[in-house]
Amino acid sequence: MRDPIHDDAIREDLDDLGLRHFLDVRATVRPMLAGLAGRQRTAFAAAVADRLQHEHHQLPDQERAAIVCHWRPVLEVVWDGLCGRRDGKQSVAEVAEAVGAFYLSPAYQKPHDNPADAVDHAAMAAFYAAECYLHGCAEFAMWAGWRGFDYASVLAGDDRDWPHRKPPRVRLESWELAHPAIQAELDRQLTDLELLDEQGWTLDDTADGCRDLVDKLRGEA
């Protein structure tokens, strides 16, 4: 259980630095996702999963995890389905098959609660995006967002130089959350939600502009 007083102290540090507390971002993301349609929620989750996939695929081939690579083509199906570039029934069937295969695999049986497991965060974010595509639930989109934060936290923890750059007046816990990888992910999630709130209506088979929106969400614009 978190200590509200401790959280407020960290929040004060981050406010002084002009940065965000992840709890505040989560509190903002939740109602925003609740107000979106299922396709828009899926786009948010898929965008998070895309970023983690991209980061993981910067590793040499021999270091890439099969469980992460399993989801890369599935995410492409999700994006194609969202924009109507692939038949809806076909895309749903393909995503459902991938989700079902994961449920039946040994990978699903292992624990998925290690905050330091970047591979698991990347795989589970994609899994949640796939589930969101099938069901449209805000919870799946929200959980994908959490995995994005967790993944960024692992990257921040691997930066051995960052603690040495801490200003004297800033608490260590606050400085950890101030890492650029974490702040970039929090900023991106809020930016994506604002974009989806404004342009998410284009995620429709008959609407123009879907490709532009998807390119922006995937960082290809």
pLDDT at 221: 42
pLDDT at 70: 93
d(CA 134, CA 97): 11
Does residue 161 lie within any of the structural domains? yes
Does residue 29 lie within any of the structural domains? no
Q: Structural domain tally of the chain?
A: 1
pLDDT at 4: 64
pLDDT at 194: 97
The domain spanning residue 152 has which CATH number? 1.20.1590
Does residue 151 lie within any of the structural domains? yes
Does residue 87 lie within any of the structural domains? yes
Does residue 89 lie within any of the structural domains? yes
Element (H, E) at 20: none
Question: Are 221 and 210 within 8 A, CB to CB?
Answer: no
d(CA 184, CA 18): 13
pLDDT at 45: 98
Over its length of 221 residues, how does the chain's per-residue pLDDT go in tens digits? 556 667 899 999 999 999 999 999 999 999 999 999 999 999 999 999 999 999 999 999 999 999 999 999 999 999 999 987 777 789 999 999 999 999 999 999 889 999 999 999 999 999 999 999 999 999 999 999 999 999 999 999 999 999 999 999 999 999 999 999 999 999 999 999 999 999 999 887 656 778 889 999 998 64
d(CA 169, CA 35): 39
d(CA 214, CA 220): 8
Does residue 14 lie within any of the structural domains? no
d(CA 12, CA 27): 17
Does residue 4 lie within any of the structural domains? no
Does residue 101 lie within any of the structural domains? yes
Q: And the tokens for 171?
A: 């608490």
Note down the domain range covering 94.
37-217
pLDDT at 206: 58
Backbone angles phi, psi at 158, to 5 degrees: -80, -10
Helix axis angle, 210-217 to 180-199, nearest 10°: 170
- The three-state (H, E, C) secondary structure of 74-142, written as one string: HHHHHHHHHCCCCCHHHHHHHHHHHHHHHHCCHHHHCCCCCCCCHHHHHHHHHHHHHHHHHHCCHHHHH
Q: And the tokens for 155?
A: 């990257």
